[in-house]
Chain A
Amino acid sequence: AQKITQTQPGMFVQEKEAVTLDCTYDTSDQSYGLFWYKQPSSGEMIFLIYQGSYDEQNATEGRYSLNFQKARKSANLVISASQLGDSAMYFCAMREGRSDKLIFGTGTRLQVFP
């Protein structure tokens, strides 16, 4: 069954440092997409980055990059040069090719300190 696992309930990082948030997934499909969303304390879900299963290059969006290791079924989010505004919950999610719904992990709460 499809599943997303985020093993870090909480992470701390100092401002301007890089941080990696872990995500592993399980699917039997060859075609799937992996997403990261950010949820600040205000509650909205903000899309950060996407990686398709057939993409050969790791996705990057500004300070966000996705470390995609297909054989290990991992899709870790790397945030470079952390900012105080990065403090939030981060969710990894997957969409299988034959389905349109997102399956979410349990999230990682990131706290950035000065």
Chain B
Amino acid sequence: DSGVTQTPKHLITATGQRVTLRCSPRSGDLSVYWYQQSLDQGLQFLIQYYNGEERAKGNILERFSAQQFPDLHSELNLSSLELGDSALYFCASRGPLDTEAFFGQGTRLTVV
């Protein structure tokens, strides 16, 4: 168990809908990262938050947004969903003294 909790584990929704993925980082970790793993794009970095502030942005679509709350949990919002958004979405967290990032179990999103 990495200590990073993601909910829900599975999500099935229709095209055009909006969903929210939730992540609770390891206790005390200020950095939260979101990654998308899809068959055609592989594992891609989406966005990073550090202590509530956006720190870095990757290949995140404009239809997607994220935030990190004062209690350090993070949410990834995906809207106007398309079939191609079906993927495994990972959250990871890292502490200031850690070299590695710790990944959650992922949320498997299926858009039908």
User: What residues make up the interface of A, taking CB atoms closer than 8 Å to B?
Assistant: 33, 35, 37, 43-47, 50, 52, 91, 93, 99-107
Cross-chain contact A50 with B105 (CB below 8 angstroms): no
CB distance from B61 to the nearest CB of A (A): 17
Number of A-B contacts (CB under 8 A): 52
| Chain B facing A: main interface SS | strand
Cross-chain contact A104 with B106 (CB below 8 angstroms): no
Instruction: For A102, list chain B residues within 8 Å (CB).
Output: 33, 35, 45, 101
Cross-chain contact A101 with B33 (CB below 8 angstroms): yes
* Interface status of B42 (Cβ within 8 A of chain A): yes
* Interface status of B2 (Cβ within 8 A of chain A): yes
Cross-chain contact B103 with A45 (CB below 8 angstroms): yes
Cross-chain contact A99 with B56 (CB below 8 angstroms): yes
Assembled-state Cα–Cα distance A46/B31 (Å): 18
Size bracket of the B interface: 20 to 34
User: What residues make up the interface of B, taking CB atoms closer than 8 Å to A?
Assistant: 2, 31, 33, 35, 42-45, 48, 50, 55-56, 58, 88, 90, 92, 94, 99-106, 108
CB distance from A68 to the nearest CB of B (A): 14
CB distance from B58 to the nearest CB of A (A): 6
CB distance from B26 to the nearest CB of A (A): 12
Assembled-state Cα–Cα distance A106/B40 (Å): 10
Among residues of A, the one whose C-beta sits closest to the C-beta of B44 is: A104
CB distance from A65 to the nearest CB of B (A): 16
Instruction: For B103, list chain A residues within 8 Å (CB).
Output: 37, 44-47
Q: List 24 A-B contacts (CB under 8 A).
A: A33-B99, A35-B100, A43-B105, A43-B106, A43-B108, A44-B2, A44-B105, A45-B92, A45-B103, A47-B101, A47-B103, A50-B100, A91-B43, A93-B43, A99-B56, A100-B56, A100-B94, A101-B33, A101-B56, A102-B45, A103-B45, A104-B43, A105-B42, A107-B42
